[in-house]
Amino acid sequence: MVVPKFTAFIHANGIPGLARTLRAAHTAPDILVVHNGDSAVERLCLRYGARGKIYVPGVTLGAYAMDAFHDWLLLLRPGEELSQETIGALAEWRRRRDDDCAGYLIRSGAGDRPQLRFVNRAMVNWIGELPPIPTNAGVFPGAIIGTDMSRAA
């Protein structure tokens, strides 16, 4: 049986909160950090086994999805971590053989509207910070705790 894999895809404008998120992303078989070239970010990536990719000004975040090792991406920002319920949902998802869903909505804080945070890049392309919500998106239980991507600078 083939176990589906995913890449934790982190957009980091600097070091604050990144270690917390890298620790939370340990459930991912691959961790990709797109960042501004800060050497401290690179060192932190090495420490946590993540791959760093320096972004090019003018290239939108969605374009870097092609650098992920896996089609499924868990979109995170520094300072965010996963609730235990979401970690359990990801473990359950990995037991599936196939998933034809374009992605899953995950709540990103108490009372916040869910956002497309677990996305199948083979089915969804985007140019901004977050991809648009497709009609066949599912919902993951739990939440992403910490900074909300839609409000972060």
Residue 152's pLDDT band (cuts 50, 70, 90) = very low
Give CA angle at 69 (77, 79), nearest 5°. Answer: 10
Structural domain spans, the chain: 6-145
Say if strands 103-107 and 138-145 run parallel, antiparallel, or are unpaired: parallel
- Cα–Cα distance measured from residue 19 to residue 23, given in angstroms and rounded to the nearest whole number: 6
The third-level CATH classification (topology) of the domain covering 6-145 is Spore Coat Polysaccharide Biosynthesis Protein SpsA; Chain A (3.90.550)
Taking only the tens place, the pLDDT of each residue in 27-85 is: 899 999 999 999 999 999 999 999 999 999 888 888 999 999 999 999 998 999 999 99
Give CA angle at 105 (63, 33), nearest 5°. Answer: 35
Residue 75: strand, helix, or coil: strand
Taking only the tens place, the pLDDT of each residue in 102-114 is: 999 999 865 678 8
First CA to last CA across the chain, in angstroms?
41
Residue 147 in this model has a pLDDT that exceeds 80: no
